[in-house]
Structure 1
Amino acid sequence: MSETSREDILLNYLDQLPFEPYPVQEEALMRYFERDEPGGGVLACAPTGTGKTVIGEAALYEALVTGSTAYYTTPLIALTEQKFTELQDAAERWGFSRDQIGLVTGNRSVNSKANVLVVVAEILLNRLLHPEAFDFTGVSAVVMDEFHSFAEPERGIVWELSLSLLPEHVRLMLLSATVGNASLFLSWLRQQHGRDLTLVQGNERRVPLEYHWIGEELLPDQLAEMVRGDEDSRKTPALVFCFDRAKCWATADLLRGRDMLVEGQQATLAEKIDALASDGFFDHGAGPKLKRILLRGVGVHHAGLLPKYRRLVEELFQEKLLSFCVCTETLAAGMNLPARSVVLTELLKGPKGKKKLIAASNAHQMFGRAGRPQFDTQGHVFAIAHEDDVKIHRHKLKIEQIPEDTKDPKLMTARKKLVKKTPKRREGVQYWSEPQFESLQTAEPGKLVSKGHLPWRLLAFLLDNDSDVSLLRDAASKRLMPEPDIAAAQRHLTKQLVTLHEEGYVALDPAPPSKAKPGDAGDDAQEQPKDDEPAAVAEDNPLAGLTLGGGLNLGGAPTGKPKPAPEKSPKKKKTSEDETETKETYAPLTATKTDKLDLLLKFRAVPPLYGVFLLDYLGQAEHHERLQIFESLLEMPGSVARSVRVPWPQDLPPGAMTLEAVDPALIQAGLFTQDDMYPPPPHEQDRPFGEPPRFPITLGEKLHLLFQHRVSNAGSFRITPVWVAGDLLDFGGDFNKYITGRELQTQEGMIFRHLLRLILLCNEFAAVTPLGVVESTWQQELKNLAESLTASCRAIDPQSTDQVLTTGA
């Protein structure tokens, strides 16, 4: 261990910075190093673009100098991988070995015994829960990056539990975007977890922002204006944000015929594009269209593009060979592309007719991408008015050019004609305004609050480690939320424990009041959650809650909604106050795991309870049924899912499992009729004019509804019944032929991502064997499917395929 003082460590760290630190960086570093007492630390809150990473790296530098251990945590695998590479580069700059930086994500591990470990938040929690295997006595610091994720239901609770379990001597460095209740959060942290952190907040940017409302120029004209001038006066390079993938292409097409290149770009850009084209890089899918756009100095970047195309756009933009990158807002939260300006093409987001003003936190992330410290003295944020409003404004300017009190008959006539032809806003179209733009600039940032319930997998993990329910109760009572919500969380925890007991995962003591399970003869309908108990977010599953499913067809129309359970004869119920009190106050003391609990821990990308439920059916299923079930578990945006529907039964006949096990169970439960599940073809359906046709209930939807019916308080999650992999294999596994044949060129990136995630899902299910299947046979089937899909993906983008299958990101 080094005897170097903390003051000297800080000075040495500052000396190695290639620039003068921002005020917020300098203050955070001073506050972190000036306090020597164990367990202290800093909460650093600053806007996007103010270099919070520099603050966090200082704690890691100290660990390398002193020989202690430090953890750097992020909420996402992809971000963790990115930080791992950045910190290896930093270690070299500081004079240390790259091998002193390690990575642990759950999908892969590199240098796992290193001084500095870059991990996803779940890994840190896992180690804290197993002190017998992971010694924290030599850990000096934990850095939690993107800490505003604390307020996210799916991710925040992992950090919340980690904060409660960290040994007292470990210093904390919490790095967050600006939040609205930082002082309250630190007060809560001090009261509930005994940690006294110093708050450092900063609102100033090294490159200040200037905001521009553009109400008189259409988007193409505005972009053309921005590219004019010399290096100092033009407003490019710029990120042009759109809120859906189709809008990105449409915006890029608006610039057709316009040269958006500046002096010195064209020759180099053309040379790079031509070199790639000669190797067939742009031959398929969206390639030809992207090539034409790039040669005009414009890039397109969204999830519908193959990763190799997105990488190219990023590289060209970083090399200053593109004036514009038309992108979705996901880029603002991920890839850091340097830009002088950002352009918001609209301020509303959502489905047609139900659009809402974008969240202030999302807007601030996009704003923060403007202004490059190494190149710019001013960043610019432009918001473009709706084209209808621009046309109305321009028309009014024409009218104003003719004096209202003119005496010239010809001018009077001309003015009247112009007034009469004044365009108007259209009915059914939603518009945005300059005051809304101003409100986003001044909006209060989000708050750090506890959200969501314990995900099922995390609950199972905790119970696998300790059967004492009082520990869970204590953690729930300390959450950062209003008292009524804490009480609701306690009740919900009890319901979760009862569900685990009913399904045989744990044995509760005392046992819960007896209750017939849903579907049993003579039982009441399944209990529904109360209004004050929001449905649990679906596990730690990043796919949950993002897609269609569960009684909805991919066009959004009902496919035959679950029918209410048949009415039953009323039963006599005990209504004494004593029994009511017993039910309301039931709270088990211990939850002793059974052997079955291990099954829940096998699933990460699938809601665990549902994953185990599916094991009862996957063993009976035919190959195409299994593929339907797997594909229904994966995220797919509705705009893409509508193009890859599960075929009608006459084209993809149901298998024996569907007909002999699933369909009868649904009918017996009163959820569907035979006609619900298998309606006639659209042209034979008797329906009112304009009403969309009824679609068959897919196998994925059937199993989802059957699960919700049978398992009480399982929480809500969504499934997306699609038919991609099966269709691809019918094309001989040729990805390009499949994409062209199904006209999915502008969405091929989403299809590619779906296939890669399906490969990972096969690996996940290979760890468990369904009933009625020989383990080796099951694993071989999944291996064959994974290998076929891997070959299809590698043929078009081998780098991305290998990266995702290696890292899971």
Structure 2
Amino acid sequence: MDATVPSRDELGDRYLSSLQVEPYPVQEEALLAWMTAEQGVLVCAPTGTGKTMIAHAALYEALHRDEIAYYTTPLIALTDQKFHELQQCAVSWGFSETDVGLVTGNRRVNPDARVLVVVAEILLNRLLNAENFDFERVSAVVMDEFHNFADAERGIVWELSLALLPPHVRLMLLSATVGNSREFVNWLERCHNRKLELVEGTERRVPLAHQWIPDRLLGEHMVDMAGGEGDSRRTPALVFCFNREECWSVAEHLKGLDLTTGPQRQRIKEEMERFDFTQGAGPKIRQILGRGVGVHHAGMLPRFRRLVERLYEQKLLSVCVCTETLAAGINLPARSVVLTNLLKGPKGKKKLIDASTAHQIFGRAGRPQYDDRGYVYALAHEDDVKILRWQEKYDSIPENTKDPGLLKAKKALKKKKPTRRDTQQYWNEAQFDKLIAAPPGKLYSKGPLPWRLLAYLLRKSPEVERVRGVIRKRLLDQPRIEAAEKDLDRMLLSLWAGGFVTLTPEPPKQEEVVEKEEKKKPEAPTGSGMFDGILTNVTKEKPKDEKVEAKPRYSPELATPTPKLGSLLQFRGIHPIYGAFLLEHLGIADRDERIQAFESVLGLPRALWRSVRVPLKEEVPPGPLQTTRLDTELIKRGLMLAKVPDEEKENDNGYDDEEEFEPPLAEKLRLLFDATYPDVKDVQTSPVWSVGELLRFNGDFNKYIRAHNLVKQEGIIFRHLLRMILLCGEFVNVCPSETTPEEWRAEMIDISQKLIESCRSVDPDSTEKAIEQAHAADVVEGEEHRVPTNSEGGTSDADDERRWEETFENLYGGEK
């Protein structure tokens, strides 16, 4: 080692000496473990324990040793916050702000910096493209909020990153308390040859006081919390709601209460004078903020959320009403948290929030630098509060009273007894106690193998056993591993049916399987998929006097890619098989049909569907894709009724029959997709018409949302538009059949340009961040060069081969 490069021990001592506060015991233990561990540490401690201080040690070390370190988070909002925080740290350590960079899916700042703050997907993408991203100088990777490993949708990102990380890179995993930490580190050593030191803490730096509030309504309780001076005040507070509409109604209620001081309101007014509140939800937000109340949820524009965060951090807001998303990592320090509800879900089907979510919310209470404890309040339903108050008033009149006035009052009270409503769901103190006492969640592998990763693996090697090896290394019990292997076989059969691979041995013909099964038992197959007969490993039930014979389950040995498999690697913002399916059909579609198809995959929440429904065919007439292909194909398959000729529609009375219902384009596409790929169950689509409608308003965002009563959800619509821009970026360099690359490219660029202009007028900063990624995908200005979308940098087939040599070394421990 170069004598001028300080040792880890020396840097550890220097870092400890630089700290402005005495480390908490778990922090000190974790820092010492990091300085001595060869491969890294797993730190499990409650929210609010100061794990960020531990993370800074790894980044401090990388900067002083001229090495590279990654800091990953699960949320873009949290990534932004950590980026600015680490820039300030770098300056305090004697370095420059430019030594800290940021890379997310839609933003890059100082991408060549030595400390890179990234969302978890970026790290995985770089590990999968190791030829383009040199990991030789990477000394450490910090994975913050690592309990997201157990997330059903995105946990696979952390899991695969662990599998692919080069052995020389030291790893720091920072997590809330988990219930199987020892099992996890044992699995990591056994399956991935990585030995981590485990550091656990159970005590919070600021202890929590939990209190059930059975007798006060929210407004009354918040006034009590905001009263008094200094430590007697229980604000600032975060008030958690479990849907966006409730956030608005609660904030509207609280704005009329006296929750702030005069000086606070004056400073808020001064801050807001520099901000434009004239459009959309701006006037409503201005009124609420002016009373010291913030609102923070995904339905708000990013610029409004950033303003709320800034005012709250400056201690100008006494209360912030928010959804549980804020508890997932965004750091808004609070003395108290208030839960207005303990149930979450659709009306009539609400369930108690899970313990992990509850503990994340509880953990937001208590600021180490200001509070000696944090306060967690859970309020009873307002009906129960009214019932309790009535009961107390009723019981205050003795049953044996002889006083005529009291008897009359008691009788009158009895007639007015409040009751619970059949249409409401209620929660209670026992459920609150259950959440408090619930053990921490466990880390297990969640979610299936992603289709895009499976395509990557098969491009490298058609040997299915290697992919099964990946599955067997997952942190699952044996029954779940066996189920995952069956899912893999089903995925491979779907790829085969779609012409993406050829299988060896060739699958038995489905007709033969059905015929054999029908002879054994007349009942229909139990499953709904095309390959249920092939994948069954036991014959159907026979009469008791007959022997049940085992039948071998079909399981391919080789899955050899066809040229078509490469199309699955083009898509990240859309299900890859559905993306490939759209490429087969959108060539003959008109502009409106293409927009409808793209919008259907962007995942607008169900609560907005009524406001963004696809218009009737008189307003948006069916285009060539529907009239010349989809209708004919769906009628032929028996999935849609043939249309009745106009001359036959009149009934005997001379009146037209009720207009036949015709599914919108997105539903027709989905019907055909499901018929083509019946075993691909993880595609989410919904027929919506938001981008198309906005363009009919000439891109006037504010006019559009006002016309469709979407002001309270403008942030969701804005995000939908940005995602549409990025989706056009994925499709711009892949051309459907039945059209020309020039026509297709021009349309993708034109749609993107119009949406960018619309978004710029609403939230320029957030739009510019999205444009940076769109530039990378060659959508915005229409440059002639092409940047493949299957990686952050262009690669050739030869590059892919070399890259996958290293990938398989990591995934399979050197096995070829």
The answer as to 2:413 corresponding to 1:402 is no
Match of 1:606 among 555, 563, 574: 574
The answer as to 2:738 corresponding to 1:772 is yes
The answer as to 2:584 corresponding to 1:616 is yes
The aligned counterpart of 1:447 is 442
The aligned counterpart of 2:652 is none
The answer as to 2:774 corresponding to 1:784 is no
Say whether the 8 Å CA contact 2:145–2:329 is kept in structure 1: no
Which digits, 9 at most, give the CA deviation of each residue in 1:670-701, with x for residues without a partner? 222247999x9xxx9999xxxxx996411111
Which digits, 9 at most, give the CA deviation of each residue in 1:408-427, with x for residues without a partner? 23223322332342211111
* CA 1:394–1:657: 2 relative to 1, 3 Å: same
The aligned counterpart of 1:258 is 257
Which digits, 9 at most, give the CA deviation of each residue in 1:16-59, with x for residues without a partner? 22222222211111122233xx4x32111112222222212212
TM-score (norm 1): 0.86
The answer as to 2:435 corresponding to 1:466 is no
Say whether the 8 Å CA contact 1:151–1:449 is kept in structure 2: yes
Q: What amino acid does structure 2 have at the position aligned with 1:487?
A: E
CA distance in 1, matches of 2:101, 2:431: 45
Shift of 1:123: 3.9
How many residue pairs align between the two structures? 745
The aligned counterpart of 2:809 is none
Say whether the 8 Å CA contact 1:49–1:205 is kept in structure 2: yes
Which digits, 9 at most, give the CA deviation of each residue in 1:721-755, with x for residues without a partner? 11112211222211111122222211111111111
Q: 2:426 is paired with a residue of what secondary structure? A: coil
* CA 1:381–1:497: 2 relative to 1, 3 Å: same
CA distance in 1, matches of 2:645, 2:268: 55
Moved more, 398-407 or 669-678: 669-678
Shift of 1:587: 2.8
Match of 1:586 among 545, 548, 555: 555
Say whether the 8 Å CA contact 2:300–2:716 is kept in structure 1: yes
The aligned counterpart of 1:572 is none
* CA 1:167–1:788: 2 relative to 1, 3 Å: closer
Q: 1:213 is paired with a residue of what secondary structure? A: strand
Shift of 1:211: 1.2
The aligned counterpart of 2:413 is 418
Match of 2:701 among 712, 735, 738: 735
Aligned positions of 1:512-551 closer than 5 A: 512-515=507-510, 527=529
Q: 1:264 is paired with a residue of what secondary structure? A: helix
- Over the aligned positions, Cα root-mean-square deviation in angstroms equals 3.1
The aligned counterpart of 2:92 is 93
Shift of 1:637: 1.0
Which digits, 9 at most, give the CA deviation of each residue in 1:648-679, with x for residues without a partner? 1222221122022001111211222247999x
CA distance in 2, matches of 1:700, 1:66: 54
Moved more, 143-152 or 590-599: 590-599
The aligned counterpart of 2:495 is 500
* CA 1:132–1:807: 2 relative to 1, 3 Å: closer
The aligned counterpart of 2:597 is 629
Say whether the 8 Å CA contact 1:238–1:341 is kept in structure 2: yes
Shift of 1:138: 4.1
CA distance in 2, matches of 1:233, 1:685: 73
Match of 1:327 among 318, 322, 332: 322
Shift of 1:338: 1.8
Q: What amino acid does structure 2 have at the position aligned with 1:96?
A: F
The aligned counterpart of 2:680 is 714
Shift of 1:113: 4.5
Shift of 1:111: 4.6
* CA 1:80–1:274: 2 relative to 1, 3 Å: closer
Say whether the 8 Å CA contact 2:48–2:204 is kept in structure 1: yes
CA distance in 1, matches of 2:31, 2:103: 27
CA distance in 2, matches of 1:475, 1:652: 47
Shift of 1:316: 1.7
Shift of 1:131: 5.2
Q: What amino acid does structure 2 have at the position aligned with 1:87?
A: L
The aligned counterpart of 2:619 is 651
Say whether the 8 Å CA contact 2:732–2:745 is kept in structure 1: yes
* CA 1:483–1:262: 2 relative to 1, 3 Å: same
Aligned positions of 1:335-374 closer than 5 A: 335-374=330-369
Match of 1:32 among 23, 31, 34: 34
Say whether the 8 Å CA contact 1:178–1:445 is kept in structure 2: yes
The aligned counterpart of 1:219 is 218
Match of 1:667 among 596, 610, 635: 635
CA distance in 2, matches of 1:122, 1:454: 15
Shift of 1:628: 0.8
Say whether the 8 Å CA contact 1:180–1:446 is kept in structure 2: yes
| Fraction of identical pairs, as percent | 54
Match of 1:757 among 716, 719, 723: 723
Aligned positions of 1:199-214 closer than 5 A: 199-214=198-213
Q: What amino acid does structure 2 have at the position aligned with 1:587?
A: P
Shift of 1:106: 5.3
Shift of 1:634: 0.8
Which digits, 9 at most, give the CA deviation of each residue in 1:151-179, with x for residues without a partner? 12332223323323333333221111111
* CA 1:433–1:360: 2 relative to 1, 3 Å: same
Say whether the 8 Å CA contact 1:227–1:262 is kept in structure 2: no
Say whether the 8 Å CA contact 1:620–1:657 is kept in structure 2: yes
The aligned counterpart of 1:690 is none
Shift of 1:133: 5.1
Say whether the 8 Å CA contact 1:154–1:455 is kept in structure 2: no
Q: 1:793 is paired with a residue of what secondary structure? A: helix
Shift of 1:139: 3.5
Q: 1:337 is paired with a residue of what secondary structure? A: coil
Q: What are structure 1's unaligned runs of at least 5 residues?
A: 535-575, 688-692
Q: What amino acid does structure 2 have at the position aligned with 1:407?
A: K
* CA 1:517–1:699: 2 relative to 1, 3 Å: farther
Q: 2:688 is paired with a residue of what secondary structure? A: coil
Which digits, 9 at most, give the CA deviation of each residue in 1:332-391, with x for residues without a partner? 114211211111111111111111011111111111111122222221111111000001
Q: What amino acid does structure 2 have at the position aligned with 1:196?
A: K
TM-score (norm 2): 0.86
Q: What amino acid does structure 1 have at the position aligned with 2:166?
A: P
* CA 1:113–1:266: 2 relative to 1, 3 Å: closer
Shift of 1:110: 4.8
Say whether the 8 Å CA contact 2:490–2:531 is kept in structure 1: no
The aligned counterpart of 2:478 is 483
* CA 1:390–1:666: 2 relative to 1, 3 Å: same
Q: What amino acid does structure 2 have at the position aligned with 1:621?
A: A
CA distance in 2, matches of 1:488, 1:677: 50
Which digits, 9 at most, give the CA deviation of each residue in 1:755-791, with x for residues without a partner? 1111111111112111111112211111111111111
Shift of 1:233: 0.8
The aligned counterpart of 1:570 is none
Q: 1:451 is paired with a residue of what secondary structure? A: coil
